[in-house]
Structure 1
Amino acid sequence: MALPYVIVSAAMSIDGFLDDVSPERLMLSNAADFDRVDAVRASVDAIVVGAGTVRADDPRLLVRSPERREERLAGGRPASPLRAVISPSGQLEPGARLFDRAADDAAGRVVVYTSIEGARTFPLGPEADEFGPATWPEGSAHPEVVSVGDVGVAPLAVLEDLAGRGIERVLVEGGGIVHTAFLSADLADELHLAVAPFLLGSTGGPRFVHAAAFPQSPERPLHLVETQTIGAVALLRYRRE
C-alpha cells in the first residue's frame, strides 16, 4: 500500500522561529499567503498537526474559501479535509475549536493518533471517564482515537493508517516536533516555507525543527522547485529526490 504524498508547511522568521515568546500569536505571514495555504488545504485529503499546535493556536483546520469548499463538495469530497492530531499523551481539551461541530457542520472528521499508554490513561473517546459524554461541551464531536505505539507516535504509523482510509495527500502544518518527526523519518515529499522578513533572536519561541539526524543533508539536499514573493514574505518550495 502506497503511503500518502506529504507536504510539510510552515511560516517562520528568517532565523527559524514559528512564534515569539509573547502570549499573543505572532503573524509571520499575510493575507495573500494565508489564501495560498487555504488553496493547499483544499488540494489535500488530510491535515496533520501536533497537540502543541492545538493547545497553542486552537485552530479549526478548515478550508476557508466558500468557492474551494463548494468545489470539493462538487467533486464528492467533504468541504474540508480529514483533520488528524498527533498526541502521544492524548491530553487534548474537548472544548477546542477543532472538535466544535456546531461551528461548522461540514467540517472534516477528526482522528487523534496517540500511544497505547495515552489511550489507556487519558482516552478521548465518548466512553472516557475524564472527558466522557457528561463533560464534553454541547455541540462537540468526539474524535476517533487510534493508538499506534507503546509510548510515542511514529509518523510512519500515522501515514499507514491514513493510507488505509484512502488518504492520498497530506498537509503537515506543525508544530516543530511534528515537522522534525516527519522530516527526520524521511517522510516529507515536499516542503513549503513562508519566510517573514525579520529575525526574532532572543525573543524567539518554538522553532521550525529541533535537533535530529536529518536525511536532507548536504549529500542529499532537497531540490528548490519554486521561489515566490508574496508581499514581504518569501515562499520557498522544495521537493525531495
Structure 2
Amino acid sequence: MTRPHVLLSVAVSVDGYIDDRGADRFPLSNAEDFDHVDRLRAESDAVLVGAETLRRDNPRLLVNSAARRADRVSNAKPEYPMKVTVTGSGDLDADLQFWHHGGVKLVYTTDTGRRLAEATLRDLATVVTLGHRVDFGRLLDDLGARGVERLMVEGGGRIHTAFLAEGLADEIRMAVAPMLIGQATAPRFLHPARFPGGPARRFHLEDVTRLGDVAVLRYFPKT
C-alpha cells in the first residue's frame, strides 16, 4: 500500500510563531502567499487540519480559485480536495464552516472518540477510528487506500509536530513573514518532541521563493 506524499504547510513570524494570543487569527501571510497556498491545495488530493485549528480559526479550507477548481474537474478529480481533520476526543462542532463547504469530509479519531463524533456530525462526514490512540501511520495507510496521493497538512502545531516526530513528513513549506510576535505563550510551529536524528540532523533545502515580502522555504526532511 502506498502512502500519500505529505506536505506540511505553515506560515511563521521571524521569531517562529504561527499566531498571537488574540482571539482573531493573526495575519502573517500576504495576498501572493495566500494564492500560492490555494494552488497547492488545488494540486492536493486531501487537505488536513487538526480539530484544535478548526475550533480556533473556523476555516472553510477550500480551493478559492474557480479556474483551479475547473482544472481539477477537467482532470477527472473532484472540484475540491477531500477535507480531513483529526481528533482524539471526538469533540467537534457541527456548526463550523469546515463541514458546510466543499466536498468529501473525513474525521480520524480514536475508539473512544468515534461515538461522540458520529453523534455530533451525523451525515456531515465519514468518521474513521484509528484504534485506542491517534496513529498517524494508520491514518496515512487509510488515506492511501482511498486513493489519496498528495496530502497537504495545514496545522496546527500538534499535528505538524506529530508528523515530523514520527518521520512521516516528506516536505515542509514554510512561509516566513517579516514581523515579530514576541509573546512567550503564543502558539509556535512545533511543540517540544524527540525528532528523528535529533538537533544535529539537517534537512535538505530545495529552494527559496520570494512572494512579496514573504520568503517561502521548501525543505525535504527525509533526504
- TM-score, normalization: structure 2? 0.95
The alpha-carbon deviation at position 219 of structure 1 amounts to: 4.3
The alpha-carbon deviation at position 149 of structure 1 amounts to: 2.2
User: Aligned Cα RMSD in Å?
Assistant: 1.5
Q: Do structure 1's residue 146 and structure 2's residue 128 form an aligned pair? A: yes
Whole-angstrom distance in 2 between the partners of 1:64 and 1:217 = 38
- List gaps (5 residues or longer) in structure 2: none
Tell me if structure 2 keeps the 8 A contact 1:17–1:204: no
Of the three residues 149, 155, 167, the one matched with 2:136 is: 155
**Secondary structure at 2:151's aligned position in 1?**
strand
Tell me if structure 2 keeps the 8 A contact 1:17–1:208: yes
The alpha-carbon deviation at position 230 of structure 1 amounts to: 1.1
The alpha-carbon deviation at position 177 of structure 1 amounts to: 0.2
Whole-angstrom distance in 1 between the partners of 2:184 and 2:33 = 24
Whole-angstrom distance in 1 between the partners of 2:121 and 2:79 = 28
Whole-angstrom distance in 1 between the partners of 2:146 and 2:91 = 24
Structural mapping, 1:76-155, within 5 Å: 76-100=76-100, 104=101, 107-120=102-115, 122=116, 124-125=117-118, 128=119, 131=120, 142-150=124-132, 152-155=133-136
Cα shift readout 1:75-99 (whole Å, capped 9, x = no counterpart): 1111110011001111110001011
Higher helix share: 2
Percent sequence identity over aligned pairs: 45
- List gaps (5 residues or longer) in structure 1: 134-140
**Aligned twin of 1:224:** 205
Whole-angstrom distance in 2 between the partners of 1:58 and 1:13 = 21
The alpha-carbon deviation at position 116 of structure 1 amounts to: 0.4
Cα shift readout 1:76-129 (whole Å, capped 9, x = no counterpart): 1111100110011111100010111xxx4xx22000000101113x2x32xx2x
**Secondary structure at 2:201's aligned position in 1?**
coil
Whole-angstrom distance in 1 between the partners of 2:194 and 2:18 = 20
Q: Do structure 1's residue 30 and structure 2's residue 30 form an aligned pair? A: yes
- Structure 1 segments, 4+ long, off by >3 Å, are 216-220
**What is the one-letter code of the residue matched to 1:142?**
L
**What is the one-letter code of the residue matched to 2:157?**
G
Tell me if structure 2 keeps the 8 A contact 1:19–1:204: no
**What is the one-letter code of the residue matched to 1:162?**
L
Aligned length: 222
**Aligned twin of 2:179:** 198
**What is the one-letter code of the residue matched to 2:151?**
V
- TM-score, normalization: structure 1? 0.88
**Aligned twin of 2:68:** 68
